[in-house]
Amino acid sequence: MSEQWLIRGVSVCGGPVVDLSVADGEFAGVGAALSAPGARVLDGTGLIALPGLVDLHTHLREPGREDAETVQTGTRAAALGGYTAVHAMANTEPVADTAGVVEQVWRLGRQAGYCDVRPVGAVTVALGGRQLAELGAMADSAAAVRVFSDDGFCVADPLLMRRALEYVKAFDGVIAQHAQEPRLTEGAQLNEGEVASRLGLAGWPAAAEEAIIARDCLLAAHTGSALHVCHVSTAGSVEIIRWAKSKGWRVTAEVTPHHLLLTDDLAEGYDTVFKVNPPLRTRADIDALRAGLADGTIDCVATDHAPHPVEAKETEWAAAANGMTGLETALRVVQLAMVDTGLLDWAGVADRMSARPAAIGRVPGHGAPIAPGGPASLTLYDPAAPPEPVNPAAHASKSGNSPFAGMALPGKVHATFLRGVCTVLDGKVTR
């Protein structure tokens, strides 16, 4: 459905204030005092226009775990968070390791219509780490999969990881690795350090992440293939990635909003909402992650939105599921952690939350600059909105396991447009 809009007085990526004219799914004009007879007019005073956000790491749970999330509820949450495209991870039931399953997820996304859904294919059959999945068939499917990950599990076998990197090179695919050496994290519950020792929880060493990242960077260099490192969480990981990039290797990386803001001492009360994989780390790690995102060592912010039903979280720590929701709070957290601290400007946010993830995820039609003739997928954000406490009960996600519950975060997503169609207006879904 074609919509015509005239957005008046908006700042593009924190720059000059202009009008935006939208017609036929594209920006018809970007400039001063534009005219668009018959168009709906939106007052953009005080708002920042960003290219529609792209998430490389979203768990939509469907098929199989519709009690936690569905493609429809997850993409509604994404649109409310300013996202116009998300990558749906493969750990569904059944696992997205065949052309049939990834096409099902892709079609569900098209039916929902809130944002584009790009399925992520599993690297190995059933995430078992023993045999490569049907990578070529998923790439050739209607879903056109280009990102593959066993996220939730590490592709620990170095030979299998090498073969996967070699295989996807043929169609410009990327392997997104969950960096966790399994032998070093057996029974691990919380970041290895003072807090874990005090609470009597088994430690999760930083070296378990860093060892896999170092190995895989070497494999990426050897094969000439594209490696993407999921949810980087330690200072040492940032240094390894910085080193690999200095060599010109095809390595990219992401950081989650929660790893930019939250520390392991939040686990002091054994509140399982703070249990996540990789675990929350220390203040020194947060500082290194923020610096890495600011200087481009870490390419992008990815939510790792991981919804869970109440019973999976409200139990003893060791039995609780790992994961946090994040789609509806990500941009607000990035404002608090990166913009309000002076580490990124809004053009930098557009780069780290739209342009780079779109490029890494091979998502056509997203991440492009806001310019005449470009696809009108954008987010209108109010950075001056008074901080409001996060209320998971008001979120569109079916699950409420937000670590930011009750925390006052700045900003508000005012509107989201997907190829010229308004999906969110005044902070509410429009359909």
| Tens digits of residue pLDDT in 259-307 | 999 999 999 999 999 999 999 999 999 999 999 999 999 999 999 999 9
Tell me if residue 304 is catalytic: yes
Across the range 21-42, mean pLDDT stands at 94
Query: What pLDDT is attached to residue 79?
Result: 98
Tokens 């008074």 sit on residue: 386
Query: What pLDDT is attached to residue 194?
Result: 96
In this structure, the number of other CB atoms found within 10 A of the CB of residue 340 comes to 13
In this structure, the number of other CB atoms found within 10 A of the CB of residue 407 comes to 17
Residue 2 clears pLDDT 90, i.e. is over it: no
Query: What pLDDT is attached to residue 1?
Result: 59
Q: How confident is the model at residue 431 (pLDDT cuts 50, 70, 90)?
A: confident
| Tens digits of residue pLDDT in 179-238 | 999 999 999 999 999 999 999 999 999 999 999 999 999 999 999 999 999 999 999 999
Among 59, 56, 82, CA closest to 305: 59
Phi-psi region of 129 (alpha: psi -120 to 50; beta: other; left: phi over 0): left
Task: Supply 378's token pair.
Answer: 């954008």
Active-site pick, 216, 285, 299, 304: 304
| Tens digits of residue pLDDT in 16-26 | 999 999 999 99
Estimate the crossing angle of helix 158-168 against helix 206-223, to 10 degrees. 50
Domains and CATH numbers, the chain: 5-48+373-429 (2.30.40.10), 52-360 (3.20.20.140)
Q: How confident is the model at residue 36 (pLDDT cuts 50, 70, 90)?
A: confident
Alpha helix (H) residue ranges in 37-98:
71-80
Tokens 């569905």 sit on residue: 70
Please give the Cα distance from 404 to 325 (Å, whole number). Answer: 9
Among 7, 82, 51, CA closest to 303: 82
Beta strand pairing status for 53-58 and 83-88? parallel
Contact call for residues 18 and 30 (beta carbons, < 8 A)? yes
Query: What pLDDT is attached to residue 184?
Result: 98
Using alpha carbons, list the distances in angstroms from residue 284 to 185, 259, 303, 431. Answer: 21, 11, 21, 43
Contact call for residues 300 and 357 (beta carbons, < 8 A)? yes
Please give the Cα distance from 97 to 89 (Å, whole number). Answer: 11
Its pTM stands at 0.97
Across the range 390-395, mean pLDDT stands at 97
Across the range 322-334, mean pLDDT stands at 98
Please give the Cα distance from 332 to 388 (Å, whole number). Answer: 10
